[in-house]
Amino acid sequence: MKKLMFVTLGVAALAIGSTPIVAQAQVADAIQAVNDAIVELTDAPGRGLRTTVDLTKRWGSDVTVIDSATAKLQDGLSKAQSGGVGADGMRQLRLAVDYGKARMHKEARLSAQGALRHLCVANQDQGPGCDKAPKYGSYTAP
């Protein structure tokens, strides 16, 4: 009987101890998806020359790029919901997805940047893009 109790308690402690690890893995996956969407939604860089962009590459305002980034934001939203992210981060992610569906790429990028900051705080500033996340407030111009 004692062995059964110890085994049961050990399994319960292991299950409780592994839950934050799984949640952190979900948040890390959400950070990756949101960071990839931000990179896609970013406009072409201006270099001050007559031709400023590579004409063969699609940038943030292209409809197919917006749709691809919106799919990544939705993926990040589903992963963040199971990862225990705060209400502010979830609200920013939902806004980013809604803006992406409306094909408003700049607003989607700005909301995704705000959501990235909340995700990074939930994951102790570890993950791709956390060094570029805005430090103050939800919206930051690039």
Q: Which CATH superfamily is domain 21-42+58-142 in?
A: IL-4 antagonist (De novo design) like domain (1.20.120.660)
**pLDDT score at 74:** 95
**pLDDT score at 88:** 87
Q: Where are the domains of the chain?
A: 21-42+58-142
Q: What does the chain come to in residues?
A: 142
Question: Cα Rg for the chain, rounded, in angstroms?
Answer: 19
**Residue that wins the pLDDT comparison between 132 and 13:** 132
Neighbouring residues of 132: CB distance < 8 A, sequence distance ≥ 6: none
Q: Where are the alpha helices (DSSP H) in the chain?
A: 2-41, 63-81, 87-101, 105-122
Q: Which two tokens stand for residue 121?
A: 């705080």
Taking the model in full, what pTM does it have? 0.73
**pLDDT score at 86:** 83
Whole-angstrom distance, CA of residue 136 vs CA of residue 138: 7
6-43: per-residue pLDDT in tens?
555 555 544 444 445 666 778 888 889 998 999 888 87
